[in-house]
Structure 1
Protein backbone atom coordinates (compact mmCIF):
# COMPACT_ATOMS: atom_id res chain seq x y z
CA UNK A 1 0.00 0.00 0.00
CA UNK A 2 1.33 3.47 -0.85
CA UNK A 3 2.01 6.11 1.79
CA UNK A 4 -0.51 8.90 2.38
CA UNK A 5 -0.14 11.42 -0.40
CA UNK A 6 0.95 14.99 0.30
CA UNK A 7 1.86 15.75 -3.28
CA UNK A 8 0.13 19.09 -3.74
CA UNK A 9 2.44 22.08 -3.84
CA UNK A 10 1.28 23.71 -0.60
CA UNK A 11 0.92 20.44 1.36
CA UNK A 12 4.45 19.43 0.45
CA UNK A 13 5.85 22.83 1.38
CA UNK A 14 4.07 23.03 4.73
CA UNK A 15 5.12 19.46 5.55
CA UNK A 16 8.76 20.60 5.44
CA UNK A 17 8.28 23.15 8.23
CA UNK A 18 10.28 21.96 11.29
CA UNK A 19 8.36 20.86 14.37
CA UNK A 20 9.49 23.93 16.27
CA UNK A 21 7.87 26.10 13.59
CA UNK A 22 9.28 29.15 11.84
CA UNK A 23 10.14 32.61 13.09
CA UNK A 24 7.64 35.31 12.05
CA UNK A 25 9.78 36.63 9.17
CA UNK A 26 10.43 33.13 7.85
CA UNK A 27 6.71 32.40 8.14
CA UNK A 28 6.07 35.46 5.98
CA UNK A 29 8.39 34.04 3.33
CA UNK A 30 6.57 30.71 3.51
CA UNK A 31 3.23 32.47 3.02
CA UNK A 32 4.54 34.03 -0.20
CA UNK A 33 5.85 30.69 -1.43
CA UNK A 34 2.48 29.06 -0.82
CA UNK A 35 0.26 31.85 -2.09
CA UNK A 36 2.30 32.82 -5.16
CA UNK A 37 3.82 29.63 -6.56
CA UNK A 38 4.56 31.05 -9.99
CA UNK A 39 6.46 34.06 -8.67
CA UNK A 40 8.27 31.82 -6.20
CA UNK A 41 9.20 29.46 -9.03
CA UNK A 42 10.69 32.11 -11.30
CA UNK A 43 11.50 35.13 -9.13
CA UNK A 44 14.84 36.02 -7.56
CA UNK A 45 15.56 35.88 -3.85
CA UNK A 46 15.43 39.69 -3.83
CA UNK A 47 11.95 39.68 -5.39
CA UNK A 48 10.71 37.13 -2.86
CA UNK A 49 12.21 39.17 -0.04
CA UNK A 50 10.39 42.28 -1.24
CA UNK A 51 7.07 40.46 -1.47
CA UNK A 52 7.48 39.08 2.06
CA UNK A 53 8.76 42.33 3.52
CA UNK A 54 12.07 40.83 4.65
CA UNK A 55 15.70 40.90 3.54
CA UNK A 56 17.42 38.42 1.21
CA UNK A 57 19.24 36.74 4.10
CA UNK A 58 15.87 35.78 5.59
CA UNK A 59 14.87 34.10 2.32
CA UNK A 60 18.09 32.06 2.46
CA UNK A 61 17.56 31.13 6.11
CA UNK A 62 13.97 30.11 5.37
CA UNK A 63 15.16 27.80 2.59
CA UNK A 64 17.65 26.25 5.00
CA UNK A 65 14.97 25.84 7.68
CA UNK A 66 12.90 23.93 5.10
CA UNK A 67 15.81 21.53 4.54
CA UNK A 68 17.61 23.02 1.52
CA UNK A 69 21.15 24.31 1.09
CA UNK A 70 19.82 27.71 0.07
CA UNK A 71 17.35 29.57 -2.13
CA UNK A 72 18.56 28.17 -5.53
CA UNK A 73 18.10 24.57 -4.35
CA UNK A 74 14.65 25.32 -2.94
CA UNK A 75 13.58 27.20 -6.05
CA UNK A 76 14.60 24.33 -8.32
CA UNK A 77 12.20 22.00 -6.55
CA UNK A 78 9.52 24.66 -6.20
CA UNK A 79 9.53 25.15 -9.97
CA UNK A 80 9.47 21.42 -10.66
CA UNK A 81 6.48 21.03 -8.37
CA UNK A 82 4.72 24.07 -9.76
CA UNK A 83 5.10 22.78 -13.32
CA UNK A 84 3.89 19.33 -12.26
CA UNK A 85 0.60 20.95 -11.24
CA UNK A 86 0.02 22.22 -14.79
CA UNK A 87 -1.37 20.53 -17.89
CA UNK A 88 0.84 20.03 -20.94
CA UNK A 89 -0.78 23.04 -22.62
CA UNK A 90 -0.23 25.22 -19.57
CA UNK A 91 3.41 24.17 -19.39
CA UNK A 92 3.88 25.14 -23.03
CA UNK A 93 2.32 28.55 -22.30
CA UNK A 94 4.68 29.05 -19.35
CA UNK A 95 7.66 28.60 -21.66
CA UNK A 96 6.46 30.84 -24.48
CA UNK A 97 9.00 33.59 -24.99
CA UNK A 98 11.07 35.62 -27.37
CA UNK A 99 13.80 34.13 -29.51
CA UNK A 100 14.22 30.80 -31.20
CA UNK A 101 12.51 27.91 -29.37
CA UNK A 102 15.37 25.58 -30.28
CA UNK A 103 17.96 28.02 -28.89
CA UNK A 104 15.95 28.44 -25.69
CA UNK A 105 15.77 24.68 -25.35
CA UNK A 106 19.52 24.27 -25.73
CA UNK A 107 20.21 27.02 -23.22
CA UNK A 108 17.78 25.46 -20.77
CA UNK A 109 19.55 22.11 -21.05
CA UNK A 110 22.96 23.71 -20.59
CA UNK A 111 21.69 25.46 -17.46
CA UNK A 112 20.21 22.20 -16.16
CA UNK A 113 23.48 20.35 -16.69
CA UNK A 114 25.35 23.10 -14.83
CA UNK A 115 22.91 22.82 -11.90
CA UNK A 116 23.23 19.04 -11.94
CA UNK A 117 27.03 19.25 -11.92
CA UNK A 118 26.98 21.53 -8.88
CA UNK A 119 24.47 19.60 -6.81
CA UNK A 120 24.80 15.92 -7.69
CA UNK A 121 26.05 13.86 -4.76
CA UNK A 122 28.58 11.43 -6.22
CA UNK A 123 28.38 9.28 -3.09
CA UNK A 124 24.75 8.51 -3.93
CA UNK A 125 25.70 7.31 -7.43
CA UNK A 126 28.37 5.10 -5.87
CA UNK A 127 25.78 3.62 -3.49
CA UNK A 128 23.44 2.82 -6.39
CA UNK A 129 26.24 1.39 -8.54
CA UNK A 130 27.44 -0.90 -5.76
CA UNK A 131 23.86 -2.03 -5.10
CA UNK A 132 23.37 -2.90 -8.78
CA UNK A 133 26.73 -4.71 -8.87
CA UNK A 134 25.76 -6.83 -5.88
CA UNK A 135 22.17 -7.52 -6.95
CA UNK A 136 20.83 -10.74 -8.42
CA UNK A 137 19.14 -8.51 -10.97
CA UNK A 138 18.07 -4.90 -11.39
CA UNK A 139 14.79 -3.66 -12.83
CA UNK A 140 14.57 -0.13 -14.23
CA UNK A 141 10.99 1.23 -14.32
CA UNK A 142 10.52 4.11 -16.78
CA UNK A 143 7.34 4.84 -18.72
CA UNK A 144 6.40 7.27 -21.49
CA UNK A 145 9.18 9.47 -22.83
CA UNK A 146 11.18 8.70 -19.68
CA UNK A 147 11.67 5.23 -21.14
CA UNK A 148 14.55 6.71 -23.13
CA UNK A 149 16.50 7.25 -19.90
CA UNK A 150 15.61 3.78 -18.58
CA UNK A 151 16.51 2.00 -21.80
CA UNK A 152 19.88 3.75 -22.05
CA UNK A 153 20.66 2.91 -18.44
CA UNK A 154 19.67 -0.75 -18.77
CA UNK A 155 21.38 -1.27 -22.14
CA UNK A 156 24.73 0.10 -21.03
CA UNK A 157 24.57 -1.60 -17.63
CA UNK A 158 24.09 -4.95 -19.38
CA UNK A 159 27.05 -4.16 -21.62
CA UNK A 160 29.04 -3.48 -18.44
CA UNK A 161 28.26 -7.05 -17.36
CA UNK A 162 25.26 -6.77 -15.05
CA UNK A 163 21.73 -8.23 -15.35
CA UNK A 164 19.70 -5.05 -15.72
CA UNK A 165 16.37 -4.87 -17.57
CA UNK A 166 14.07 -1.94 -18.31
CA UNK A 167 10.28 -2.17 -18.04
CA UNK A 168 8.97 0.69 -20.14
CA UNK A 169 5.34 -0.06 -20.98
CA UNK A 170 2.40 -2.17 -19.94
CA UNK A 171 1.12 -2.43 -16.39
CA UNK A 172 0.70 -6.21 -16.71
CA UNK A 173 4.39 -6.69 -17.53
CA UNK A 174 5.37 -4.39 -14.69
CA UNK A 175 3.13 -6.28 -12.26
CA UNK A 176 4.66 -9.60 -13.29
CA UNK A 177 8.21 -8.29 -12.93
CA UNK A 178 7.58 -6.72 -9.53
CA UNK A 179 5.91 -9.93 -8.30
CA UNK A 180 9.21 -11.76 -8.86
CA UNK A 181 11.40 -9.26 -6.99
CA UNK A 182 12.99 -10.05 -3.68
CA UNK A 183 15.66 -8.93 -1.19
CA UNK A 184 18.49 -9.79 -3.59
CA UNK A 185 17.20 -7.41 -6.26
CA UNK A 186 17.26 -3.67 -7.02
CA UNK A 187 14.58 -1.47 -8.56
CA UNK A 188 15.38 1.95 -10.05
CA UNK A 189 12.31 4.14 -10.60
CA UNK A 190 12.65 6.91 -13.20
CA UNK A 191 9.87 9.45 -13.56
CA UNK A 192 9.63 13.22 -13.97
CA UNK A 193 7.04 16.00 -14.05
CA UNK A 194 3.69 14.62 -12.84
CA UNK A 195 5.03 11.07 -12.25
CA UNK A 196 3.34 7.84 -13.28
CA UNK A 197 1.20 6.21 -10.61
CA UNK A 198 2.37 2.77 -11.76
CA UNK A 199 6.00 3.76 -11.12
CA UNK A 200 5.23 4.93 -7.58
CA UNK A 201 3.22 1.77 -6.89
CA UNK A 202 6.01 -0.46 -8.26
CA UNK A 203 8.51 1.27 -5.98
CA UNK A 204 6.37 0.64 -2.90
CA UNK A 205 5.60 -2.95 -3.80
CA UNK A 206 9.29 -3.65 -4.42
CA UNK A 207 10.24 -2.04 -1.11
CA UNK A 208 7.67 -4.18 0.70
CA UNK A 209 9.41 -7.26 -0.71
CA UNK A 210 12.78 -6.21 0.65
CA UNK A 211 14.09 -4.98 -2.68
CA UNK A 212 16.46 -2.01 -2.59
CA UNK A 213 14.73 0.90 -4.33
CA UNK A 214 16.30 4.03 -5.82
CA UNK A 215 14.66 6.90 -7.71
CA UNK A 216 15.67 9.41 -10.38
CA UNK A 217 13.21 12.30 -10.49
CA UNK A 218 12.93 16.08 -10.67
CA UNK A 219 10.65 16.56 -7.66
CA UNK A 220 10.41 13.65 -5.29
CA UNK A 221 6.81 13.13 -4.24
CA UNK A 222 6.43 12.04 -0.61
CA UNK A 223 5.03 8.73 -1.85
CA UNK A 224 8.02 8.00 -4.08
CA UNK A 225 10.57 9.29 -1.58
CA UNK A 226 9.08 7.06 1.13
CA UNK A 227 9.80 3.98 -0.97
CA UNK A 228 13.29 4.94 -2.10
CA UNK A 229 16.53 4.39 -0.22
CA UNK A 230 18.10 7.25 -2.17
CA UNK A 231 16.56 9.87 -4.47
CA UNK A 232 18.66 11.50 -7.18
CA UNK A 233 17.23 14.92 -8.00
CA UNK A 234 17.54 15.62 -11.72
CA UNK A 235 16.64 18.99 -13.32
CA UNK A 236 14.08 18.17 -16.02
CA UNK A 237 12.42 21.43 -16.99
CA UNK A 238 12.15 21.81 -20.75
CA UNK A 239 11.09 24.63 -23.05
CA UNK A 240 8.04 22.94 -24.55
CA UNK A 241 5.11 20.92 -23.25
CA UNK A 242 7.30 18.02 -22.09
CA UNK A 243 10.20 17.69 -19.64
CA UNK A 244 13.77 17.60 -20.88
CA UNK A 245 15.54 14.24 -20.70
CA UNK A 246 19.05 15.65 -21.17
CA UNK A 247 20.05 15.75 -17.49
CA UNK A 248 18.36 12.38 -16.92
CA UNK A 249 20.45 10.78 -19.66
CA UNK A 250 23.56 12.42 -18.18
CA UNK A 251 22.81 10.85 -14.79
CA UNK A 252 22.21 7.46 -16.42
CA UNK A 253 25.57 7.72 -18.18
CA UNK A 254 27.32 8.80 -14.98
CA UNK A 255 25.76 5.89 -13.11
CA UNK A 256 26.87 3.33 -15.70
CA UNK A 257 30.37 4.83 -15.74
CA UNK A 258 30.47 4.40 -11.96
CA UNK A 259 29.12 0.85 -12.31
CA UNK A 260 31.83 -0.09 -14.80
CA UNK A 261 34.45 1.00 -12.25
CA UNK A 262 33.12 -1.33 -9.53
CA UNK A 263 34.60 -4.44 -11.17
CA UNK A 264 36.69 -3.43 -14.21
CA UNK A 265 37.66 -7.04 -14.99
CA UNK A 266 34.01 -8.11 -15.14
CA UNK A 267 33.10 -5.16 -17.34
CA UNK A 268 36.10 -5.72 -19.62
CA UNK A 269 35.21 -9.37 -20.13
CA UNK A 270 31.57 -8.48 -20.83
CA UNK A 271 32.52 -5.89 -23.44
CA UNK A 272 34.90 -8.30 -25.17
CA UNK A 273 32.19 -10.98 -25.29
CA UNK A 274 29.71 -8.47 -26.71
CA UNK A 275 32.21 -7.32 -29.35
CA UNK A 276 32.75 -10.91 -30.45
CA UNK A 277 29.01 -11.51 -30.74
CA UNK A 278 28.48 -8.28 -32.67
CA UNK A 279 31.09 -9.50 -35.15
CA UNK A 280 29.37 -12.90 -35.53
CA UNK A 281 26.03 -11.22 -36.18
CA UNK A 282 27.61 -8.66 -38.51
CA UNK A 283 25.91 -5.84 -36.68
CA UNK A 284 28.33 -3.00 -37.26
CA UNK A 285 28.78 -0.98 -40.44
CA UNK A 286 32.21 0.11 -39.23
CA UNK A 287 34.16 -2.63 -37.55
CA UNK A 288 37.25 -2.18 -35.40
CA UNK A 289 40.52 -3.20 -37.04
CA UNK A 290 41.93 -6.51 -35.77
CA UNK A 291 44.85 -6.14 -33.34
CA UNK A 292 48.21 -6.01 -35.08
Structure 2
Protein backbone atom coordinates (compact mmCIF):
# COMPACT_ATOMS: atom_id res chain seq x y z
CA UNK A 1 0.00 0.00 0.00
CA UNK A 2 1.30 3.45 -0.91
CA UNK A 3 2.22 5.80 1.91
CA UNK A 4 -0.38 8.39 2.88
CA UNK A 5 0.64 11.81 1.45
CA UNK A 6 2.06 14.07 4.15
CA UNK A 7 1.94 17.36 2.22
CA UNK A 8 -0.26 19.05 -0.36
CA UNK A 9 2.55 18.83 -2.93
CA UNK A 10 2.84 15.06 -2.45
CA UNK A 11 -0.94 14.67 -2.66
CA UNK A 12 -1.09 16.74 -5.84
CA UNK A 13 1.62 14.57 -7.40
CA UNK A 14 -0.21 11.38 -6.41
CA UNK A 15 -3.52 12.61 -7.80
CA UNK A 16 -1.85 13.61 -11.06
CA UNK A 17 -0.07 10.25 -11.38
CA UNK A 18 -3.16 8.17 -10.52
CA UNK A 19 -5.64 10.30 -12.48
CA UNK A 20 -5.74 8.06 -15.61
CA UNK A 21 -6.68 5.02 -13.51
CA UNK A 22 -9.47 6.74 -11.54
CA UNK A 23 -13.14 6.21 -12.32
CA UNK A 24 -14.96 8.93 -14.21
CA UNK A 25 -16.61 10.21 -11.03
CA UNK A 26 -13.32 10.28 -9.10
CA UNK A 27 -11.64 12.07 -12.01
CA UNK A 28 -14.37 14.70 -11.79
CA UNK A 29 -13.66 15.00 -8.06
CA UNK A 30 -9.91 15.25 -8.64
CA UNK A 31 -10.31 18.08 -11.15
CA UNK A 32 -12.52 20.05 -8.78
CA UNK A 33 -10.23 19.60 -5.77
CA UNK A 34 -7.09 20.66 -7.59
CA UNK A 35 -8.82 23.55 -9.33
CA UNK A 36 -10.36 24.92 -6.09
CA UNK A 37 -7.86 24.21 -3.28
CA UNK A 38 -8.83 27.35 -1.39
CA UNK A 39 -12.48 26.32 -1.12
CA UNK A 40 -11.50 22.76 -0.17
CA UNK A 41 -9.49 24.08 2.79
CA UNK A 42 -12.54 25.43 4.62
CA UNK A 43 -15.81 24.23 3.09
CA UNK A 44 -17.84 21.32 4.49
CA UNK A 45 -18.12 17.99 2.69
CA UNK A 46 -21.76 18.63 1.85
CA UNK A 47 -21.06 22.05 0.34
CA UNK A 48 -18.05 20.80 -1.62
CA UNK A 49 -20.02 17.86 -2.99
CA UNK A 50 -22.72 20.20 -4.23
CA UNK A 51 -20.16 22.50 -5.88
CA UNK A 52 -18.30 19.56 -7.47
CA UNK A 53 -21.50 17.90 -8.68
CA UNK A 54 -20.83 14.67 -6.78
CA UNK A 55 -22.19 13.04 -3.64
CA UNK A 56 -20.56 13.46 -0.22
CA UNK A 57 -19.76 9.74 -0.22
CA UNK A 58 -17.75 10.25 -3.43
CA UNK A 59 -15.52 12.78 -1.68
CA UNK A 60 -15.01 10.37 1.20
CA UNK A 61 -14.30 7.52 -1.22
CA UNK A 62 -11.80 9.74 -3.04
CA UNK A 63 -9.90 10.51 0.19
CA UNK A 64 -9.95 6.83 1.18
CA UNK A 65 -8.47 5.86 -2.19
CA UNK A 66 -5.35 7.87 -1.31
CA UNK A 67 -4.99 6.26 2.10
CA UNK A 68 -6.73 8.86 4.30
CA UNK A 69 -9.05 7.71 7.08
CA UNK A 70 -11.59 10.34 6.07
CA UNK A 71 -12.10 13.54 4.13
CA UNK A 72 -11.17 15.80 7.06
CA UNK A 73 -7.70 14.22 7.25
CA UNK A 74 -7.09 15.02 3.58
CA UNK A 75 -8.57 18.49 4.04
CA UNK A 76 -5.80 19.30 6.55
CA UNK A 77 -3.26 19.20 3.71
CA UNK A 78 -5.26 21.82 1.81
CA UNK A 79 -5.30 24.01 4.92
CA UNK A 80 -1.57 23.53 5.46
CA UNK A 81 -0.98 24.61 1.87
CA UNK A 82 -2.86 27.84 2.48
CA UNK A 83 -0.89 28.46 5.66
CA UNK A 84 2.44 27.90 3.91
CA UNK A 85 1.68 29.90 0.77
CA UNK A 86 -0.11 32.80 2.43
CA UNK A 87 2.07 33.80 5.39
CA UNK A 88 0.57 37.29 5.45
CA UNK A 89 -2.40 37.53 7.84
CA UNK A 90 -4.36 39.88 5.61
CA UNK A 91 -4.04 37.49 2.67
CA UNK A 92 -5.25 34.59 4.80
CA UNK A 93 -8.22 36.59 6.06
CA UNK A 94 -9.22 37.42 2.49
CA UNK A 95 -8.78 33.77 1.47
CA UNK A 96 -11.07 32.59 4.25
CA UNK A 97 -13.73 35.15 3.37
CA UNK A 98 -13.55 34.23 -0.32
CA UNK A 99 -13.74 30.49 0.33
CA UNK A 100 -16.53 30.54 2.91
CA UNK A 101 -18.40 33.73 2.14
CA UNK A 102 -18.27 34.48 5.87
CA UNK A 103 -17.40 37.68 7.67
CA UNK A 104 -17.30 36.52 11.31
CA UNK A 105 -17.70 39.14 14.00
CA UNK A 106 -15.26 39.49 16.92
CA UNK A 107 -17.45 37.60 19.40
CA UNK A 108 -17.81 34.65 17.05
CA UNK A 109 -14.05 34.55 16.49
CA UNK A 110 -13.40 34.74 20.23
CA UNK A 111 -15.61 31.71 20.82
CA UNK A 112 -13.97 29.78 17.98
CA UNK A 113 -10.42 30.50 19.13
CA UNK A 114 -11.27 29.86 22.79
CA UNK A 115 -12.98 26.54 22.02
CA UNK A 116 -10.19 25.34 19.73
CA UNK A 117 -7.46 26.25 22.23
CA UNK A 118 -9.39 24.65 25.07
CA UNK A 119 -9.55 21.38 23.12
CA UNK A 120 -5.81 21.56 22.32
CA UNK A 121 -5.00 22.02 26.02
CA UNK A 122 -7.22 19.13 27.07
CA UNK A 123 -5.47 16.81 24.63
CA UNK A 124 -1.93 17.98 25.47
CA UNK A 125 -1.20 15.69 28.49
CA UNK A 126 -2.22 12.57 26.58
CA UNK A 127 -0.13 13.50 23.55
CA UNK A 128 3.12 14.20 25.39
CA UNK A 129 5.18 11.11 26.10
CA UNK A 130 5.99 11.22 29.87
CA UNK A 131 9.39 9.59 29.27
CA UNK A 132 10.29 12.27 26.72
CA UNK A 133 9.22 14.97 29.14
CA UNK A 134 11.47 13.57 31.89
CA UNK A 135 14.36 13.12 29.43
CA UNK A 136 14.10 16.77 28.40
CA UNK A 137 14.20 17.79 32.07
CA UNK A 138 17.25 15.56 32.62
CA UNK A 139 19.06 17.41 29.84
CA UNK A 140 18.13 20.84 31.17
CA UNK A 141 19.01 19.93 34.77
CA UNK A 142 22.50 18.70 33.84
CA UNK A 143 23.24 21.67 31.58
CA UNK A 144 25.34 24.58 32.80
CA UNK A 145 23.03 26.86 30.81
CA UNK A 146 20.04 26.46 28.50
CA UNK A 147 20.01 28.29 25.16
CA UNK A 148 16.58 28.75 23.57
CA UNK A 149 15.85 29.43 19.92
CA UNK A 150 12.57 30.06 18.11
CA UNK A 151 12.21 32.02 14.87
CA UNK A 152 9.15 33.92 13.64
CA UNK A 153 5.95 32.57 15.23
CA UNK A 154 7.98 30.37 17.57
CA UNK A 155 9.85 33.38 18.99
CA UNK A 156 6.99 34.07 21.42
CA UNK A 157 7.38 30.63 22.99
CA UNK A 158 11.19 30.84 23.06
CA UNK A 159 11.05 34.25 24.70
CA UNK A 160 8.66 33.03 27.41
CA UNK A 161 10.76 29.92 28.10
CA UNK A 162 13.87 32.06 28.61
CA UNK A 163 11.93 34.39 30.92
CA UNK A 164 10.66 31.45 32.98
CA UNK A 165 14.11 29.87 33.26
CA UNK A 166 15.54 33.14 34.58
CA UNK A 167 12.89 33.14 37.31
CA UNK A 168 13.92 29.68 38.55
CA UNK A 169 17.53 30.89 38.49
CA UNK A 170 18.61 28.57 35.68
CA UNK A 171 21.17 30.31 33.44
CA UNK A 172 19.39 30.84 30.13
CA UNK A 173 20.07 32.70 26.90
CA UNK A 174 17.61 33.64 24.17
CA UNK A 175 19.03 33.21 20.68
CA UNK A 176 17.29 36.15 19.01
CA UNK A 177 19.32 36.32 15.81
CA UNK A 178 19.81 40.06 16.24
CA UNK A 179 21.64 41.34 13.19
CA UNK A 180 21.21 37.95 11.50
CA UNK A 181 23.73 36.42 13.90
CA UNK A 182 22.15 33.02 14.59
CA UNK A 183 25.29 31.18 13.45
CA UNK A 184 27.44 33.31 15.78
CA UNK A 185 25.06 32.76 18.70
CA UNK A 186 25.00 28.99 18.31
CA UNK A 187 28.82 29.02 18.46
CA UNK A 188 28.48 30.48 21.95
CA UNK A 189 26.68 27.36 23.19
CA UNK A 190 29.13 25.39 25.35
CA UNK A 191 29.60 21.64 25.21
CA UNK A 192 28.16 21.38 28.74
CA UNK A 193 25.13 23.54 27.86
CA UNK A 194 21.85 22.47 26.27
CA UNK A 195 19.78 23.86 23.41
CA UNK A 196 16.00 24.04 23.03
CA UNK A 197 14.79 24.71 19.48
CA UNK A 198 11.11 25.52 18.94
CA UNK A 199 9.85 25.30 15.37
CA UNK A 200 6.53 24.66 13.65
CA UNK A 201 5.59 24.04 10.02
CA UNK A 202 6.87 25.25 7.61
CA UNK A 203 9.99 25.08 9.85
CA UNK A 204 12.11 28.21 9.52
CA UNK A 205 15.44 27.63 7.82
CA UNK A 206 17.18 29.49 10.65
CA UNK A 207 15.88 26.89 13.11
CA UNK A 208 17.03 24.03 10.91
CA UNK A 209 20.50 25.54 10.57
CA UNK A 210 20.89 26.04 14.33
CA UNK A 211 19.67 22.50 15.07
CA UNK A 212 22.01 21.04 12.43
CA UNK A 213 25.00 22.86 13.95
CA UNK A 214 24.10 21.76 17.48
CA UNK A 215 23.69 18.17 16.33
CA UNK A 216 27.04 18.30 14.52
CA UNK A 217 28.78 19.56 17.67
CA UNK A 218 27.10 17.01 19.93
CA UNK A 219 25.28 19.61 22.01
CA UNK A 220 22.29 18.10 23.88
CA UNK A 221 19.28 19.16 21.80
CA UNK A 222 15.61 19.26 22.79
CA UNK A 223 13.13 20.08 20.04
CA UNK A 224 9.58 21.31 20.51
CA UNK A 225 7.72 20.90 17.22
CA UNK A 226 4.35 19.96 15.72
CA UNK A 227 4.95 16.67 13.91
CA UNK A 228 7.04 13.52 14.17
CA UNK A 229 7.81 14.19 10.50
CA UNK A 230 9.41 17.55 11.32
CA UNK A 231 12.97 17.72 9.90
CA UNK A 232 14.19 18.70 13.37
CA UNK A 233 13.08 15.44 15.02
CA UNK A 234 15.88 13.36 13.48
CA UNK A 235 18.44 15.80 14.93
CA UNK A 236 17.07 15.89 18.47
CA UNK A 237 18.06 13.98 21.57
CA UNK A 238 14.47 14.50 22.72
CA UNK A 239 11.49 15.65 20.65
CA UNK A 240 8.28 16.95 22.21
CA UNK A 241 5.38 16.95 19.73
CA UNK A 242 2.66 19.55 20.28
CA UNK A 243 -0.60 19.81 18.35
CA UNK A 244 -1.86 23.38 18.38
CA UNK A 245 -5.37 24.64 17.76
CA UNK A 246 -6.18 25.91 14.29
CA UNK A 247 -9.06 28.19 13.36
CA UNK A 248 -9.49 29.21 9.70
CA UNK A 249 -5.76 28.57 8.99
CA UNK A 250 -4.63 30.61 12.04
CA UNK A 251 -2.67 28.42 14.46
CA UNK A 252 -2.43 29.06 18.17
CA UNK A 253 0.44 28.84 20.65
CA UNK A 254 -1.51 28.00 23.80
CA UNK A 255 -0.42 24.37 24.08
CA UNK A 256 3.24 25.21 23.41
CA UNK A 257 3.25 27.93 26.06
CA UNK A 258 1.62 25.55 28.53
CA UNK A 259 4.26 22.91 27.82
CA UNK A 260 7.18 25.34 28.22
CA UNK A 261 5.68 26.59 31.48
CA UNK A 262 5.48 22.98 32.66
CA UNK A 263 9.11 22.37 31.69
CA UNK A 264 10.35 25.47 33.50
CA UNK A 265 8.38 24.91 36.71
CA UNK A 266 9.18 21.18 36.78
CA UNK A 267 12.86 22.03 36.41
CA UNK A 268 12.51 24.51 39.28
CA UNK A 269 10.98 21.80 41.46
CA UNK A 270 13.88 19.49 40.65
CA UNK A 271 16.42 22.17 41.50
CA UNK A 272 14.71 22.97 44.78
CA UNK A 273 14.62 19.29 45.74
CA UNK A 274 18.30 18.89 44.87
CA UNK A 275 19.15 21.94 47.01
CA UNK A 276 17.24 20.56 50.00
CA UNK A 277 19.05 17.24 49.60
CA UNK A 278 22.40 19.01 49.47
CA UNK A 279 21.59 20.98 52.62
CA UNK A 280 20.59 17.77 54.36
CA UNK A 281 23.87 16.10 53.50
CA UNK A 282 25.84 19.05 54.91
CA UNK A 283 23.77 19.43 58.09
CA UNK A 284 26.04 19.20 61.18
CA UNK A 285 25.75 16.09 63.33
CA UNK A 286 23.82 17.10 66.54
CA UNK A 287 25.77 14.54 68.59
The interval holding the TM-score normalised by the smaller chain is 0.5 to 0.7
What residue number does 2:116 align with? 111
| Residue ranges of structure 2 left out of the alignment (5+ in a row) | 15-21, 50-55, 278-287
Give the SS at the match of 2:252.
coil
1:264 aligns with 2:272: yes
- Checking the alignment, whether the CA contact within 8 Å between 1:192 and 1:218 is kept in structure 2 is yes
Q: 1:227 aligns with which of 223, 230, 235?
A: 235
- Checking the alignment, whether the CA contact within 8 Å between 2:154 and 2:199 is kept in structure 1 is yes
1:50 aligns with 2:57: yes
- Checking the alignment, whether the CA contact within 8 Å between 1:160 and 1:267 is kept in structure 2 is no
1:141 aligns with 2:149: yes
**The structure with more helix, counted as a fraction of residues:** 2
| CA RMSD between the two structures | 4.4
Shift of residue 204, structure 1, vs aligned partner: 1.1
What residue number does 2:92 align with? 91
Q: Supply the distance in 1 between the matched residues of 2:188 and 2:178 (Cα, whole angstroms).
A: 16
Change (3 A) 1:90 1:262: same
1:71-220 to 2 correspondences below 5 Å:
79-88=79-88, 89-96=90-97, 97-101=102-106, 103-119=108-124, 120-123=127-130, 124-170=132-178, 172-181=180-189, 183-192=191-200, 194-218=202-226
Shift of residue 196, structure 1, vs aligned partner: 2.5
Higher Cα Rg, which structure: 2
Shift of residue 151, structure 1, vs aligned partner: 1.4
- Checking the alignment, whether the CA contact within 8 Å between 2:42 and 2:96 is kept in structure 1 is no
- TM-score of the pair, normalised by structure 2: 0.64
- TM-score of the pair, normalised by structure 1: 0.63
Q: 1:247 aligns with which of 242, 251, 255?
A: 255
Change (3 A) 1:41 1:169: same
Q: Supply the distance in 2 between the matched residues of 1:116 and 1:77 (Cα, whole angstroms).
A: 23
- Checking the alignment, whether the CA contact within 8 Å between 1:216 and 1:232 is kept in structure 2 is yes
Give the SS at the match of 2:232.
helix
Q: Supply the distance in 2 between the matched residues of 1:204 and 1:198 (Cα, whole angstroms).
A: 10
- Checking the alignment, whether the CA contact within 8 Å between 2:223 and 2:240 is kept in structure 1 is yes
Q: Quick check: 214-223 or 151-160, which moved more?
A: 214-223
Change (3 A) 1:117 1:172: same
| Residue ranges of structure 1 left out of the alignment (5+ in a row) | 1-5, 16-23, 65-69, 270-292
Shift of residue 118, structure 1, vs aligned partner: 1.4
Q: Supply the distance in 2 between the matched residues of 1:81 and 1:233 (Cα, whole angstroms).
A: 19
What residue number does 1:10 align with? 9
Alignment: residue pair count: 246
- Offset from partner CA, 1:46-99 (integer Å, 9 cap, x none): 87973445299x58x9346xxxxx887776576345412224133222344333
